[in-house]
Amino acid sequence: MTEQEDVLIIREIHRLLLPHTDIVGLIELDGDRLTTRIEGQQLAITAKVITDQDAHSSVAHAHIIVATDDEELFGNLEACVVGINLDRHTALRNTAESWFTSAAGPIFSLFHARPVLDAIHFDGEEVSGVRGAHGFAGPLTVRMASEEFPADRLLEQPMFQYVPEMAPPGIVHLAKVTLQVRAQRWHRTIEVDGHQAVYADASWDAGQPPPRQVVASRFATFHYANQPEVVETRRVLDEVICDYVRQFDQERDTNRARNALVNAGRPEKVVDRVDHFLRLALGRVIITNNMPFHAAMTYHRVQPSGELKLNEPLMEEPAFVRGMALAGALADGPLLEATRELALCSAEVDVINQALNAGSRLEDCHADPFLIPDLGTSREVFSKAVECLRYQPEHPSKKPWWKIW
């Protein structure tokens, strides 16, 4: 990466935006940044070329960042874009074109409060939008597909599913979804606010068979300006996750860490969810990531009444999703040892170790869904739920290792 590469991208973005002064205002180029003012907001656009260790020089990976004076409201809208060409300079210019075509529309629509540059508005109920939030989605960008490929059918699927759970605390966010075909399956990658939260789905239901090859992507901006409770709930959850690890670092006991947080005034329901889901999340990111075993992406929920909610998606449990998103930061600092120890405390990691010690191969291991109680569920009710699920038709010889109480 060189400063000249960053400047090259910014100059290309400047060239692409100049014909659209009615939308982007009087944009000025100043070295490695662009500045303009839209609806009273001062914007600064910069580029950061990312050096990927194993990437070919023909692949240019860059983050285009739009910052404003009101960082508390808008944050930094960071878009991850890629350009591919055997000529390095052309690949870099392609990243600028990709940003302009895919991300500029949703971003500038946000400041105008209306769709611009081919973006569309969503109110949180559309399948193709971000559930529960207002925002703007850009056009679907498709590469490497045959002319016969029905790309528009992808827009009928919930491409931004799980984005609300992934979003960090904040009012405004930028999400990107990338769809590819790998091993004859649809592979979906979600990125929220640059790489602050990333999720890869190796077998996504696109509503149609995968073609031989295709790469499709779409950006969306979304906000919770009229839902302050959503932002506050996410802020508290992230704080409890970090506090839980800090407390465990002192106590080296999950029960004592949990009780200490509740006694300190943290919401007991939030602490309870973190206590149940954080170890699983850390184990998957730090220990079992890329291991060739079949991990369950659902869990069975036991309610205090005894009612069972079967196969609830793990990715719709914020404590699990935010635990995965924060794992990297927690494991890259003074809480490294405590974070790794918590990851090793995951029941899933324990079962994998047992299977390996018994001579099993990782690729033959199949993780059944965990059985997790809601706050207030008695031991008697939970034990009855265990008995109800003890017989597993798919794996009748297995013990119910998912019991985590």
pLDDT at 288: 87
pLDDT-wise least confident of 50-64, 130-144, 151-165: 50-64
pLDDT of 320 higher than 50: yes
Report CA Rg, the chain: 23
Task: Enumerate the β-bridge partners of residue 366.
Answer: 294
Between CA 383 and CA 297 the distance in angstroms is: 23
Residue type, position 353, single letter: N
Task: Answer yes or no: is pLDDT of 391 > 70.
Answer: no
DSSP state of 370: E
> How far is CA 30 from its chain centroid?
33
d(CA 402, CA 348): 8
Residue 206 phi/psi, 5-degree rounding, is -90, 0
The average pLDDT across 22-41 equals 94
Cα 176 to Cα 98: distance, rounded to the nearest angstrom? 12
| pLDDT band (50, 70, 90) for residue 3 | low
The candidate with the shortest Cα–Cα distance to 179, out of 217, 139, 140, 128, is 217
pLDDT of amino acid 117: 96
pLDDT above 90 covers a percentage of the chain that reads 77
Measured CA to CA, the distance from residue 158 to residue 243 in angstroms comes to: 33
Instruction: Convert the pLDDT of each residue in 159-182 to its tens digit.
Output: 999 999 999 999 999 999 999 999
- Which two structure tokens, joined as six digits, stand for 327? 């794992």
Helix (H) or strand (E) holding 252: none
CB 387 within 8 A of CB 393: no
Which tokens belong to 185?
Answer: 């399956």
pLDDT confidence tier of residue 404, bands split at 50, 70 and 90: very low
For 183-326, strand residue ranges (E) read: 185-192, 197-201, 215-223, 298-302, 308-313
Between the two ends of the chain, the Cα-to-Cα distance in Å is 50
pLDDT at 2: 57
Q: Pick the closest to residue 277 from 335, 317, 336 (CA basis).
A: 317
Q: Cβ-count burial of 11 within 10 angstroms (0-12 exposed, 13-18 middle, 19+ buried)?
A: middle
Residue-level pLDDT at 397: 39
Backbone phi, psi, residue 360, to 5°: -75, 160
- Cα 42 to its chain centre, rounded Å, is 28
- Where residue 142 falls among pLDDT bands split at 50, 70, 90? very high
Give me 7's structure tokens. 């400047």
* Cβ neighbours of residue 68 closer than 8 Å, sequence gap 6 or more: 41, 42, 43, 44, 74
Q: Which of 49-53, 246-250, 362-366 has the highest mean pLDDT?
A: 246-250
Range 37-41 average pLDDT? 92
pLDDT, one tens digit per residue, over 184-228 is 999 999 999 999 999 999 899 999 999 999 999 999 999 999 999
Annotated domain spans of the chain: 1-112, 119-226, 228-389
What tokens does 14 get? 């400047």
* pLDDT tens-digit series, residues 228-263: 999 999 999 999 999 999 999 999 999 999 999 999
Q: Characterize 57-92 residue by residue with b for buried, 16 or more Cβ atoms within 10 angstroms of its Cβ, and e for exposed.
A: eebbbbbbbbbbeeeeebbbbbbbbbbbeeeeeebb
Beta strands in 20-68 (DSSP E): 28-30, 33-38, 41-50, 59-68
Pairwise pLDDT comparison (343 vs 359), residue with the higher score:
343
Element containing residue 351 per DSSP (H, E): helix 347-357
pLDDT above 50 for 328:
yes
Full-model pTM: 0.90
Task: Describe the strand order of the beta sheet including 370-373 as a list of residue ranges.
Answer: 308-313, 298-302, 370-373
Q: What is the pLDDT of residues 289-298, one digit of tens each?
A: 878 777 889 9
Tens-digit pLDDT profile for residues 261-319: 999 999 999 999 999 999 999 999 999 887 877 788 999 999 999 999 999 999 999 99
